[in-house]
Amino acid sequence: MTLRSYVVARLLLTIPMVMLLLTLVFLVVRVLPGDPASLHFEKQVDPQMLMEFKRMLGLDKPIEVQYLDYLAGLLKGDFGKSMQDFSPVSQQIFSAFPATLELAIFSMIIMILVGVVLGAQASRSYNSLQDHSIRVFGIAAYAIPVFFLGEVMIMVFAIYFHLFPAGDRFYAGVTPMGLTLGDLHLETGLYTVDSILEGNPSKLVMSLRYLFLPSLTLGTVLSGIFIRLTRANMLETLQLDFVTAARARGLRERTVVYGYALRNALLPILTMMGLRFAALLGGAVLTETIFSWPGLGRYLVDRISFRDYTAIQGVVVFFGLLVAMVSLAVDTLYAYLDPRIRY
Amino acid sequence: MSSEKPQGRILIWFLPALTGLVRRGLAGWAILIGSAIVAVVGVITVVSPWISPYDPIAINVGPILSPPSFEFPLGTNHLGQDMLSRVYSGGAIMFQVAILSVIVCLVVGVPVGLYASYAGGHIDQLASFVMDSIYAFPGLVLAIAIAAMLGPGVVNMALSIAVVYVPSYFRIIRSQVLTIKELPYVEAARMMGAKGSAILLSYILPNVIASIAAIATINFADAVLTAAGLTFVGLGLPVSTPNWGWDLTYGRQLLTSGAWWVITFPGLMVVLLALGFTLMGEGLSELLNPRLQK
Amino acid sequence: MPLLDIQSLVVEYRTPKANVKAVDRVSLSVEKGHTLGLVGESGCGKSTLGLSIVRLVPPPGRIVSGQITLDGINVVRCSNEKIRRVRGKRVGYIFQDPMTSLNPVKKIRDHFVEMINTHEPGVSREDALKRASDMLQNLGILPERIDDFPHQFSGGMRQRVMIGLALALNPDLLIADEPTTSLDVIVEAQIIELLKHLKEALDLTLVLITHNIGIVAETADRVAVMYAGRIAELGEIGDLFEKPMHPYTKALLNSVPNITKKDQILSWIPGAPPDLADVPPGCLYHPRCPFVFDRCKNEGPQLLKHDNSMVACHLYDKR
């Protein structure tokens, strides 16, 4: 099987999964509470107004029709309308997404750096003090709720030491603008990238400053699992025959650890990374809330307080699709790296 | 020590179990310390009605937002509630939600896992498919969605957490069952005509219980964290019940005005409880997966 | 001067429960161009002995005392860098299980190129590839398969690859640890033939570690029989097979089924090898020995010369 046919097969598998997810979300939001429309209004409301409200949102149609509309809409990129102001949810999603993406990327970088490096180090010095301290750190990092760590970070670094800002993403009004060449305008929505595109180093520094605490918080909490996983995988791999055989051929220790052990241990770690992405999104929700980071997570939480159920549905669906795409990408990468899967 | 008294007997069992665990190295210590932490927090929660100096939900028992002092060792919040009493009694809800969610997971996840993986074929494929889809989804987001729809309450929170966690049980059970299923002695039993259900109960289940225990403890830890998280974003429990989650929410808003104590102490309790369960879970899984046998 | 000289080697595995002497005061030597067979049951320490020669005993194992001299190099005490350079270049090692001894994510040709580059950095990539192809061809593997991954080969082929890697840099010594145990009989015969042929062609010194006396009979000049970490008997191949001295050696030879003897009752050795964490006093074999007498239970036998061989048994110790 070549890589291409593997990807195609995998894609075909993803589609029913996505369908299941979409249906699940639909059931949860539309069917579970009974009538999301009346739930939206805390007090009693004039039945006439309620009907009109439902009509505006398409909630008056029979459930099967709603389901089909929902699916058809998604194909067009329509994630529904907000209950608050009937604006298209997709607009909000796509404007809030880059913020979450940027946070996710930097958190992942920290998570991988901390997790893999510490895990590999721990495995090399099995049962030593270094090993034990790293493991304890990993457990502590995992057990701390991300919002608590965030608060501690804010308290210590932002409020007490005034080193980093306590929230938000940037100074209002002077956000990075991206690249403008005559009529061509390129803007990614990722402030770090846009600052580079704009050629403005001070804005780059500024966006990094705002980014630092949230991604450090999220990255650290997630690295806990990573440390354990890397360490366990490395320990197992280092014991394997081909590692001893490699040493018996006189290969340098560095080659053995990184080219043989880590390279093979990395494969399951990579899958875990794909799964962790889902956890990352979950953690992002809380992190964005504490740091007032204007991303999808905070949008979701906002919508909850407004009882905007259709918007909630839209965001949750988006999350699901995102995770599905990422796991597809990760699986493809895995297949590329591990020839055993495709041959 | 008279061994007719029940205390005596418990002690006779307890001490060897203790030393047995300690002898098992780091993992044993982890379980020990973890259980100790959980036990201490649990006891505090249970006896809180007797040891709380003030009624945890009574407002204005003290000046608003006063820092820790002799009279109010952990300070007061913006409603004038005593933080110490709230810290003592806030755990009750956490325990309830956690225990309930674990029970649901066990009742649903274990039978489904056992049956589906033992039966194999289409049933197994279908179950795996559903479980994998749920598992792949961001847990907290799904819990938020479900909790948002169901509304506040201990049961609803427990259900949201349970739904998110059942796939984990399923996976662990499935991987175990698949291995055990193929072992020669199970095949032998099958050939002697043993019924499927009998095989499940007497051969497979005992071997799987250990892993179930390990993941149940981690489930507890996650339940505590998720419950706190859900309350933090505004879902979950009515304000009237003392709950560390609410303290965290309000504490966050009060943080910028300098009142650090409102969020810190309940936060520490959540961390402690989660840490206790996590240690237990980690210790258990380490003991059950002897990795480096000679 | 022998190519390989081992003096009083002691290798221990230190666990919290006990210290296990996997190799207990073993002394051996191998002359250049000769083949030494190292025979014994599983767990007798022969694999550990093999690994010690290249100082690759896995932790918690450690070489505790003794000396190993390989063509003048002090293996036990030399630096890490020195022993690394010895491995692969002066000593080739073949492992038991070819399925797990090759890096699953590296192509076969990369295994070779990497090795050549590590030890002979001056060699160009084309030259390295050519040498690899030549070697594989000598081993009976089609050259176009050099770009494949290990899992695409059968067990026998993989073992040939391992042999190729072990010999790629023309080492003086080749250590083969159970090279055919995980292969079926037909492939086993092929591999043994291959080894014999290579030994002749390259004038190799070979240490063959196995529990299969049959292949030792075909290939070895001298044989050392190990039991529970110690050498029971050491002698020329002819002497050992015709006039075995140690009761264990006799029992081993008897337990090999002989296709020509009709109605042979398959014999076996009663009992089991001792738990090395809890060794019996005196001679380690005495609980299973049919010739046991009082001295055996109290005093451990020494390895002494008798006729042309060495044997560690009180039956031959007239002191």
Query: What are the structural domain ranges in chain C?
Result: 4-90+171-316
Residue A91 CA to residue C106 CA, distance in Å, equals: 47
Confidence of residue B294 (pLDDT cuts 50, 70, 90): very low
B193: CB partners within 8 A, 6+ apart: none
Confidence of residue B215 (pLDDT cuts 50, 70, 90): confident
The pLDDT, as a whole number, for residue C207 is: 92
Whole-number average pLDDT of chain A: 79
Residue A313 CA to residue A260 CA, distance in Å, equals: 46
Least confident of B86-100, B149-163, B200-214, C175-189: B200-214
C228: CB partners within 8 A, 6+ apart: C24, C44, C45, C273, C274, C276, C279, C284, C285
Residue B277 CA to residue B282 CA, distance in Å, equals: 9
Domain range B11-51+90-292, its CATH number among 3.30.70.890, 1.10.260.40, 1.10.3720.10, 1.10.150.120: 1.10.3720.10
pLDDT at residue C18 tops 80:
no
Domain boundaries, chain B: 11-51+90-292
Q: What is the CB neighbour count within 10 angstroms for residue A327?
A: 20
Q: What are the CB-based long-range contacts (under 8 Å, 24+) for B250-258? A: B250/B77, B250/B78, B251/A151, B251/B77, B252/A147, B252/A151, B252/A290, B254/B65, B254/B77, B254/B78, B255/A151, B255/A154, B255/A155, B255/A159, B256/A159, B256/A166, B257/B65
Taking contacts as CB-CB distances below 8 angstroms, the residues of chain A near B248 are 147-148, 151
Whether a cis peptide bond, with omega within 30° of 0, leads into C60 is yes
Tell me the residues of chain A between 273 and 292 that have a Cβ less than 8 Å away from chain B.
275, 278-283, 285-286, 289-290
Percent of chain B beyond pLDDT 70? 83
The first and second tokens of residue A52, run together, are 């009109």
Residue type, B136: A
Give helix B26-51 / helix B6-23 axis angle, nearest 10°: 140
Residue-wise pLDDT tens digits, C62-106: 888 888 998 888 888 888 888 888 888 889 998 888 777 888 778
pLDDT at residue B14 tops 80:
no
Top pLDDT among C270 and B38 is at B38
pLDDT at residue C263 tops 50:
yes
Least confident of B74-83, B188-197, C108-117: B188-197
Beta bridge partners of C14: C19
B and C: number of Cβ contacts within 8 A:
4
For residue C110, CA distances in Å to A100, B36, C164 come to: 42, 53, 13
pLDDT at residue B293 tops 50:
no
Residue-wise pLDDT tens digits, B121-141: 888 888 888 888 888 788 888
The pLDDT, as a whole number, for residue C250 is: 84
Helix (H, G, I), strand (E, B) or coil at B24: coil
The first and second tokens of residue B167, run together, are 């796939």
Residue-wise pLDDT tens digits, B257-281: 767 777 778 888 888 888 888 888 8
The architecture (CATH level 2) of C4-90+171-316 comes to 3-Layer(aba) Sandwich (3.40)
Whether the Cβ atoms of residue C116 and residue C123 lie closer than 8 Å to each other? yes
Residues of A with CB under 8 A from a CB of C: 126, 239-242, 244-253, 255, 259-260, 263-264, 267, 337-340, 343
Q: For strand C73-74 and strand A184-186, is the pairing parallel, antiparallel, or unpaired?
A: unpaired
Distance to chain B for C295, nearest Cα, Å: 34
Asked if A32 lies within 8 A of B251 by C-beta distance, the reply is: no
Residue-wise pLDDT tens digits, C124-174: 888 888 888 888 887 778 777 888 888 888 888 888 888 888 888 888 899
Q: For strand C35-39 and strand C61-70, is the pairing parallel, antiparallel, or unpaired?
A: unpaired
Question: Which string of DSSP letters, residue by residue, matches A59-96?
Answer: TTS-HHHHHHHHHHHHHHT---B-TTT--BHHHHHHHH
Q: Measure the CA dihedral A240/A246/A251/A257, to 10°.
A: -20
Q: Is C112 on the interface with A (CB under 8 A)?
A: no
- For tokens 């046991």, the residue is C292
Top pLDDT among C207 and B237 is at C207
| ipTM of predicted assembly, 2 dp | 0.77
Whether the Cβ atoms of residue B103 and residue B92 lie closer than 8 Å to each other? no
Residue A83 CA to residue A102 CA, distance in Å, equals: 28
Beta bridge partners of C29: C5
pLDDT at residue B291 tops 60:
no
* CA angle (A117 as vertex; C109, A154 as ends), nearest 5: 150
Low-confidence ranges of chain A (pLDDT < 50): none
